[in-house]
């Protein structure tokens, strides 16, 4: 394992307002600094990410519930 992998694997903590190292549990990830749940992207990055997705999707797409199911299950 390369130490750099650890630093690449970060998520955004709304409480700390920065990308942080996190602890992975079965369903959620938690900030190692404050212990609160972290998200994959900051809000701005998330918006950009979704805009990017929308543009790439064909017209007529509807909101999908698959994201609830599609996650890795234990
Ligand atoms: Zn935090």
Task: Give residue 23 CA to ligand 1 midpoint distance, Å.
Answer: 11
Task: Give residue 20 CA to ligand 1 midpoint distance, Å.
Answer: 7
**What's the pLDDT at 40?**
85
Nearest CA to 31 among 41, 22, 43? Answer: 22
**What's the pLDDT at 23?**
92
Question: What are φ and ψ of residue 58, in 5° steps?
Answer: -65, 155
CA neighbours closer than 13 Å in the CB half-sphere of residue 39: 10
Residue 70 has pLDDT above 90, yes or no: no
Helix and strand counts by DSSP (H, E) for the chain? 3, 3
Task: Give residue 47 CA to ligand 1 midpoint distance, Å.
Answer: 20
Spell out which residues have Cβ within 5 A of ligand 1, the ion: 13, 15-16, 31, 33-34
CA neighbours closer than 13 Å in the CB half-sphere of residue 19: 11
Instruction: Write down the domain spans for the chain.
Output: 3-54
- Supply the pTM of this predicted model: 0.54
Residues 12-52: pLDDT tens digits? 999 999 999 999 888 889 999 999 999 888 888 889 988 99
């Amino acid at each position: 394992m390369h130490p750099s992998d650890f630093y690449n694997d970060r998520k955004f903590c709304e409480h700390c307002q920065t990308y942080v190292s996190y602890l992975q549990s079965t369903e959620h990830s938690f900030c190692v600094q404050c212990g609160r749940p972290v998200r994959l992207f900051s809000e701005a990055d998330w918006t950009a990410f979704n805009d990017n997705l929308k543009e790439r999707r064909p017209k007529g797409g509807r909101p999908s519930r698959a994201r609830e199911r599609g996650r890795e299950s234990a």
